[in-house]
Structure formats: structure tokens, C-alpha cells
Amino acid sequence: MAKIHKTLAFLISVMIICSVEILAKKSRRPISDIEIREKKQSCYADIELGYWGSECKSSMVAKENCALKCLSPTCYELIYESDPLEEGERDYVRSGEYKYCMHRLDLLPLKTISQL
């Protein structure tokens, strides 16, 4: 009877270890377009409530720049900070780069993100 308990305990231990390894190997899922849209709407709401200061409410382009910064400060810094959007500008190239940055950033381990 003791031999059965030891064997059972061993099998359970192996299953737990294998489960942990499988979970550790699974890659993180990138942020979806829907999640980005929802988060951006939340940023717009925060801007309207004044959480980002009056500068962010001064114009539509200022609001958009603040929303992009709210959505992902790291990606905003990399893509837009040196050359923010201007009135009437539609920059599809940088918009795509920003979105790609968000997808890639979402896949990085948190330790790596803090080093950026």
C-alpha cells in the first residue's frame, strides 16, 4: 500500500512540474485591436475629466497626443515624442509603427519593459 502511495505521489509531482513548464513556455498574447480601442476610449474619458491637465483639452490634436501617451507611454516616447502630431496631420506610417510597438511591447516580459 505504501508503494502505491509513493508511486502516486511521484506521478502527481511529475504532472505538476510538467504543467508549470508548459505554462512557463506559453508566450503572452499580444494586445488585440479591441483592447487597444477600449483602452484608448478610457484615455479619452480621463482626458475629458481633466486628469491629464488642461493642455490635453486645448485642441483635438493635443487630445490625440495625450491619448497616445496615456495608451502607451513607452511607444509614444519611441514614435511620437520627438515629433508630435500636428493639426490636420494624418500619419499612417507612424500610426502603424505605434500599433506594432504596442503589440510587441505587450509580448515582452515586464523585466525587459522596465529597462526600455
Is 2 within a domain?
Answer: no
Query: C-alpha cell of 19?
Result: 504543467
Is 69 within a domain?
Answer: yes
Q: Supply the pLDDT for residue 113.
A: 45
Separation between Cα atoms, residue 79 and residue 76, nearest integer Å: 5
Is 49 within a domain?
Answer: yes
Q: Supply the pLDDT for residue 3.
A: 58
Q: What is the pTM of this model?
A: 0.68
Is 7 within a domain?
Answer: no
Is 15 within a domain?
Answer: no
pLDDT tens digits, residue range 58-74?
Answer: 999 999 999 999 999 99
Q: How many Cα atoms within 13 Å fall on the side-chain side of residue 54?
A: 0
Query: C-alpha cell of 29?
Result: 498574447
Cβ(105)–Cβ(74) under 8 Å? yes
Three-class SS of residue 8? helix
pLDDT tens digits, residue range 62-105?
Answer: 999 999 999 999 999 999 999 999 998 888 999 999 999 998 88
Residue 5 has pLDDT above 80, yes or no: no
Residue 112: pLDDT band (50, 70, 90) is very low
The total of structural domains in the chain comes to: 1
Query: C-alpha cell of 10?
Result: 511521484
Nearest to 46 by CA among 37, 56, 59: 56
Separation between Cα atoms, residue 61 and residue 67, nearest integer Å: 10
pLDDT tens digits, residue range 12-49?
Answer: 654 555 454 444 444 578 888 899 999 999 999 999 99
Is 4 within a domain?
Answer: no
Is 64 within a domain?
Answer: yes
Q: Give the domain extent around 48.
A: 33-115
φ and ψ of 86, to 5 deg: -115, 165
